Structure 1
Amino acid sequence: MSSTVNEANTPLTSRSYPWYYEPLRWVLLRVAHLPWPVLYAKAEIIYFLLAYVVRYRWKVVRTNLQNSFPEKSPAEIERIGKAFYRHFSQVMVETLKLAVMPDAELKQRVNVRNPEVLERYFQAGRMALGLSSHAGNWEWVLTSGALWLSADVSGIYKPLNNPFFEYFMTYLRTRTGASLVPMRDTLRHMVQSRGQKRVVSLLSDQAAGPEDRPYWTTFMNQDSGFYTSADRLAAKFKCPVVYVSIRRLRRGYYEMVLTELYDGDSPLPTDSYPITDAFVRHLEQDIRRWPEQYLWTHRRWKHKRT
């Protein structure tokens, strides 16, 4: 992958969305070219608007934090909430920067501490599952993973309804060589990838509804339903599973750590979900250590156990 971006050769020049989105595309690309100090100055403006003017989803953020940290005072909840909005604003401009950031720079900004956890499986020609979440900069997980790992990287995602933003976000997420797979095509993609060196990435903290037959457990002091795709896919394809943790070290720099949850060979029970449960426990640990880096605007607990 080239370390520079030639806009004339990017998919964005082939319009697959209504023409009236072209000015927005032009503006977004111009903003993406701004230097980092200017982008982070804009992030501070976004932070001020979200946290103090619009108070974007503040009721959701506050309720999520209060229920997750019942031991914390209102002042502490307020502090974490404000820190989250600042983090979220920085993630927004960092994600936009993917449009023009050289690959070498992205690899420098996201350090994968222990890629050997996955590489030993790739050396054996095996496919693996990577379970990540809306923590740290989740948009840099797939893109930087494609640069750090010696295997192909696929991300399972839910397509956006807006044609322009679907096209633009697909471009950002695949610029470094990763591929995207709609959720409905997950099984087909896994079948086609059998026997290949590949990591299939799942954002596994999405809220699963009753119709999804979720695994219910206590997560951040609340009843939470999780998709069980990881356990079912690992059992079907005999593939190892790793938990992907990403945290901000300082502004614009992150560390990714891989933790093996399943080796791909040991028998898995048919009446429980140990991989999903292990993912939940690791994610909970990360959130408690760096609470401001989790996506608290997400209505994670909107479904109730029946």
Structure 2
Amino acid sequence: MKVKYYFLKALFWLLSKVPFWFYHGLSSFIGFLFIRLKLYRYKVVMDNLSKSFPDKSEQEIKKIAHQFYYHFTDLIFESIKAFGFSKKTIKKRYKFNANAEVQKLMDEKKSIAFILPHFANWEWATQGVNFMVPRNQPLALIMYKPLKNQVMENLIKENRSRFPGNYLFPKNNAYREVIKHKDQHFLLGFAADQSPANVYNSYWMEFLGRDTGVFFGVEKFSKKFNLVPVYAHVKKVARSRYEVDVEVITTNPSETAYGYITEKHMKFLEADIDENPHLWLWTHKRWKRNKPADYDEKRPQEQ
């Protein structure tokens, strides 16, 4: 186990030193193969895009799908490059734009719910979020889904927390970890755009023209622990270069109506997708579950 761990750690470190220009060329070639041979969930991507943008022609849908695959293969190599990032590199390539409102929250030691969907580049966010504000940077509590392969689990967890200020924990321990850190100044990271397994423990709304079940965790945690919900708008400004604009949803989460926070952050995502549809993760089956007819009767009462 240890031999395999150190071998892979050294391998990923060496691969991270390969220059971007080489990976960009390799990424373009692999992206072309994905498109040409219709590999890796090509039908799922086309179906998701067609149903999300019914007014677009088949040619327009194909263009978005092809742009998506070229971006997707970029992400693969960007994840490898992250194993060798310095602080200077991550701050340059995943840049958080100055935000006076968020800085004020940090100066006041307000903890936040940080919402970052699977848009543009989410892997680099686990490192880049350490440099969100110039001063009073909060402890980053990052939820993740543990891998079955223990060696890869250790490597990825170590890489994501390679800069001081990150604390990773299995997502099933979220309540326990927030309570444990409640007296500290922290941000709690959420990726709230996947399909919830439990159709009743979901918030249902219209998203991209379809009835969609949404994780309610952002709103639940924001209200229960008085976390200020903050959404991250990520832009791909050039190949392997991103800029992040953060937007406060509300500074008084407990005073908002049921569903307000959830609707707000999903509408932010919808607007980002409309502007750059190829940057969202279209390979996942977002709409594989339907809203049950008895949802209103059976949904958790605490919602």
Whether these two folds match at TM > 0.5 is: yes
Cα 1:76–1:230 change in 2 (3 A) is same
SS at match of 1:99: helix
Which position in structure 2 is the counterpart of 1:101?
A: 85
Question: Separation in 1 of the partners of 2:30 and 2:232?
Answer: 28
TM-score (norm 2): 0.89
CA shift for structure 1 position 209: 2.7
Question: Separation in 2 of the partners of 1:53 and 1:47?
Answer: 10
CA shift for structure 1 position 130: 0.6
Question: What is the aligned-residue RMSD (CA, Å)?
Answer: 1.8
Q: In percent, how many aligned pairs have the same letter?
A: 26
Indicate whether 1:300 and 2:265 are aligned. no
CA shift for structure 1 position 142: 2.2
- The amino acid that maps onto 1:237 is F
* Native 8 Å contact 1:127 1:195 kept in 2: no
CA shift for structure 1 position 124: 1.4
Question: Separation in 2 of the partners of 1:167 and 1:89?
Answer: 24
* Native 8 Å contact 1:156 1:202 kept in 2: yes
CA shift for structure 1 position 167: 1.9
Query: Counterparts in 2 of 1:12-161, with a 5 A limit?
Result: 17=1, 19-20=3-4, 24-53=8-37, 55-149=39-133, 150-161=137-148
Indicate whether 1:190 and 2:192 are aligned. no
Aligned counterpart for 1:231 among listed residues 190, 211, 219: 219
Cα 1:212–1:155 change in 2 (3 A) is farther
How many aligned positions are there? 288
Question: Separation in 1 of the partners of 2:29 and 2:151?
Answer: 25
- The amino acid that maps onto 1:243 is Y
* Native 8 Å contact 1:61 1:297 kept in 2: yes
CA shift for structure 1 position 267: 1.4
Cα 1:212–1:28 change in 2 (3 A) is farther
* Native 8 Å contact 2:140 2:189 kept in 1: yes
CA shift for structure 1 position 288: 0.5
Question: Separation in 2 of the partners of 1:54 and 1:168?
Answer: 31
CA shift for structure 1 position 19: 4.6
* Native 8 Å contact 1:46 1:89 kept in 2: yes
* Native 8 Å contact 1:212 1:227 kept in 2: no
Question: Separation in 2 of the partners of 1:30 and 1:180?
Answer: 25
Residue deviations 1:59-107, cap 9 Å, x none? 1000000011001111111110010000011111111111112111110
* Native 8 Å contact 2:204 2:213 kept in 1: yes
* Native 8 Å contact 1:208 1:226 kept in 2: yes
Where structure 1 has 5 or more consecutive residues not aligned to the other structure, the ranges are 1-16
Aligned counterpart for 1:254 among listed residues 215, 236, 242: 242
CA shift for structure 1 position 176: 2.3
Cα 1:18–1:54 change in 2 (3 A) is farther
Indicate whether 1:276 and 2:262 are aligned. yes
TM-score (norm 1): 0.88
